Amino acid sequence: MSQDKYNKLWKALGIAVLFAIPLVISDRYFLHLMVMAGIFVMLTSSWNLLTGYAGQINLGHAAFYGIGAYTSALLVMKVGISPWIGLFMGGFVSAFFGLLLGIPSIRLSGPYLAITTIGFAEILRLVAMNWVELTRGSLGLYGIPPLTAIKLSPGFSIEFTSERNFYYVLLIAIFLTLFCFKRLVQSEFGITLKSMRDDEPGAESIGVDTTRYKLAVFTISAFFAGFAGALFAHYQRLVSPDTLSLGETFTILTMTMLGGLGTLAGPVVGAILLTFLSEGLRFVEDMVKLNVRMVIYGFLLIITILFMREGVVGLFSHYRRSGDTGQ
Amino acid sequence: MDILRTDKLSKWFGGLCAVKEVSFSLVKGEIMGLIGPNGAGKTTLINLISGVFPPTNGNILYQGKNITRLKTHSLNKMGIARTFQIVRIFKTLTVIENVLTAMVNRKTYGPWSLAWGSLFKRSGAFTDNKDACVKAEELLDFVGIGEYRDELAENMPYAFSKRLEIARALATRPEVLLLDEPSSGLNPKEQNDQVEIIKKINQQGTTIMIIEHVMKVIMEISHRLIVLHYGEKIAEGEPEKVYSDPKVIEAYLGGDADA
């Protein structure tokens, strides 16, 4: 019981610190990094549900991110809907594509599925690149409206153009996302995903309709990735075909592997660590005049796979083995 | 009373006939042994009945319903459970989780209702569910691995992982249990334990069909035997009769039975 109370205390303290950060640190660059880390937390967590928990290797996750970003941006710019609704539309359209990509997963698995998902993302990237009338091609969509201000009273409204205010929106989005993933993973649904990941014929033999589970988990994962993409679109206010690239997926993959695949805390830790590390490496790149970032990513990935399969989170859970909660 | 019946069941893999027009019926409450030399098509037959792949020809009837083309998961929901020749337990789950995941009522709840429901329940609703845990523990005790409750399944000794697979199959509350070589790779002591477990399961009313290579085991527990040879059923009946059937001896020893 007291252990439980301690945990609650730590959680409350953590949340308080997260909410207090923009009040204490006003450096816009730092807050920008926090926002980017936050968007990656949503992306890595959604990828982790699909690949870490359900075992469906998806190397086209950036496609969902891009679909969410483009969908929301285009709907807001061309149709004129509110960006707030755009966020959810980004999620839903991405979820629909998730369902579509889920179909090949019924028959394919492992490397075959991985290659299919790469193809899926590449096709979409080429569409975004070449459908110039709609997407402005490689120039990207620019001038995407920010999230509309919330009017509290005449003369006083909350704008979402500043890093600080956006940070709060994102923080709430992340809490909701992680809450959903925690509940999903620690339930009958989650244990079924893990069963399917461990042994598909075994899961079938206890009545798991693996086809429907795969479709469901692709859809759910894509929804959250799309939502993250839409948030990004209205924050950065620029979306280019690069968001759909394989490089983006590999960033997500490296973050998750580094943090700990198939744990709840892993993707969060990995996303924050790598976001700040890669910014730090920018200075190194300027000094040595070489693109060392990808080299270091690759190196970290190899180290993780060779020496710490369970990632950074796995290193700590040696001290307190609390199953897969990783909290 | 037949609980399961096959009617001229055949399975071709390309030009190879793995199972050839096999007809048999499984009587409710019995233990039926399925034997035959290597490559006789025993596992293929079990795979056909459990819906791993559909037969090329023929029908399978279960409790009067035609189940020929149903998938494994649908068949499990109807009451047909199975184990595998090479264990297929969920390695990264704990022993009790392996059983708990099999206890989920999948007839009523599909992925979407489970996912949606999980969002509004307290987290960990699954493992906090006392009734489910008690039942899962009973099953683990029943097969004699209760003390390994919280061990990761991949750390289990081989013999115990075979028992875990049986417990997992039982957790789905089957009418018919298909066992594919439950005592392969076990030492004589472990084989005896396995026989006791299978007998106990049968005494509780579950109909069992079992593939087995260990003759001592199969002769001891089967009420009836079916012998397959090159995909064809060559004998059927009480164990003693089948055991002395010249065709069976020929299949196992090869050549002329008189030699």
For chain B, 259 residues long, give each residue's pLDDT as a single digit of tens. Answer: 789 999 898 999 988 888 888 899 999 999 999 988 888 888 999 999 999 999 998 999 999 899 998 999 999 999 999 999 989 999 999 999 999 999 888 888 888 888 888 887 754 445 557 778 888 889 999 998 988 988 899 999 998 999 999 999 999 999 999 999 988 888 888 888 889 999 999 999 999 999 988 888 888 899 999 988 888 888 888 888 888 888 888 877 776 545 4
Asked if A188 and B109 come within 8 Å (Cβ–Cβ), the reply is yes
Q: Which of B123, B155, B176 to mutate to test the interface with A (most CBs of A within 10 A)?
A: B123
Domains of chain B: total: 1
CA distances from A84 to A67, A283, B114 (A): 16, 36, 28
* Of A322, A324, A323, nearest in space to A3 by CA: A322
Mean pLDDT, rounded, of chain A = 86
Report the percentage of chain A scoring pLDDT > 90.
Answer: 34
Please give the pLDDT value at position A47: 95
Chains A–B, number of C-beta pairs less than 8 Å apart: 126
Domain membership of residue B9 (yes or no) is yes
Residue B243, domain extent: 2-253
Q: Which of A206, A220, A221 to mutate to test the interface with B (most CBs of B within 10 A)?
A: A206
Task: Give the pLDDT confidence of A232-288 residue by residue, as tens digits.
Answer: 999 988 888 888 888 889 889 989 998 888 888 889 999 998 888 888 888 887 787
Of all residues in chain A, the one with the smallest CA distance to B123 is A183
Q: Which of A202, A207, A210 has its CB closest to that of B90?
A: A202
For the question of an ipTM over 0.90, the answer is: no
**Which of chain A's residues have a Cβ under 8 Å away from the Cβ of B52?**
201
Domain membership of residue B259 (yes or no) is no
**Shortest Cα–Cα distance, B221 to chain A (Å):** 24
CA distances from A255 to A37, A150, A293, A326 (A): 10, 34, 13, 16
Please give the pLDDT value at position A246: 86
**Alpha helix locations (H) across chain A?**
2-24, 28-47, 61-74, 83-107, 110-130, 132-135, 163-185, 188-198, 200-205, 210-236, 246-259, 265-288, 293-307, 311-317
Q: What is the mean pLDDT of residues A19-34?
A: 83
Do the beta carbons of residue A243 and residue A69 sit within 8 Å?
Answer: yes
- The phi and psi torsions of A226 (rounded to 5 degrees) equal -65, -40
Please give the pLDDT value at position A325: 44
Q: Interface of chain B against chain A, CB under 8 Å?
A: 50, 52, 71-74, 76-77, 81-84, 88-94, 97, 100-102, 104, 106-107, 109-112, 114-115, 117-119, 121, 123-127, 168-169, 171-172
Cβ neighbours of residue B100 closer than 8 Å, sequence gap 6 or more: A191, B126, B127, B132, B133, B136, B171
Asked if A201 and B52 come within 8 Å (Cβ–Cβ), the reply is yes
Q: Confidence band (pLDDT; 50, 70, 90) for A319?
A: low
Domain membership of residue B258 (yes or no) is no
A188, amino acid identity: E
Q: Does A327 touch chain B (CB under 8 A)?
A: no
Angle subtended at Cα B109 by Cα B60 and Cα A91, rounded to the nearest 5 degrees? 120
Please give the pLDDT value at position A324: 45
Please give the pLDDT value at position A194: 94
Instruction: Say how many C-beta atoms besides its own lie within 10 A of residue A85's C-beta.
Output: 12
- Give the CA radius of gyration of chain B: 19
**Shortest Cα–Cα distance, B119 to chain A (Å):** 5
Domain containing residue B239: CATH number: 3.40.50.300
Please give the pLDDT value at position B93: 92
Domain membership of residue B139 (yes or no) is yes
Domain membership of residue B93 (yes or no) is yes
